[in-house]
Amino acid sequence: MIFKKYFDWKDVEKAYVRKYKPLSEYGGWGYKINIISKNGAINMRGNIGLQLELKNGKRILIGTQRPQEIDEILKIMQVNGN
């Protein structure tokens, strides 16, 4: 299964790297969606991810093994006003 989803940065209210609990927050690893809230996660392993909070209230977590690199990119984007 190939998963493709596009999030426009103008639709993102907040973006930050955080630790999470895969089992208790999302029911494990993989592609997970909460049917009630429509919030989701894409995670394969580990417990660190990029949290996107969208302006429409939805939240998406994308797992990463490179949190420092994502944090650096987010800092650059904030400096540029994005």
- pLDDT tens-digit series, residues 34-53: 766 678 888 888 899 999 99
Q: Is residue 3 part of a domain?
A: no
DSSP 37: T
Q: Is residue 32 part of a domain?
A: yes
Q: Is residue 4 part of a domain?
A: no
Least Cα distance to 52 among 20, 13, 10, 26 occurs for 13
Rounded Cα distance, 27 and 34, in Å: 9
Percentage of residues of the chain with pLDDT beyond 90: 37
Q: How many domains does the chain have?
A: 1
Q: What is the pLDDT of residue 66?
A: 93
pTM above 0.85, yes or no: no
Q: Which two tokens stand for residue 1?
A: 């299964």
Q: Is residue 70 part of a domain?
A: yes
Range of the domain at 54: 9-79
- Token look-up 């299964």 returns 1
Q: What is the mean pLDDT of the chain?
A: 84
Q: Is residue 2 part of a domain?
A: no
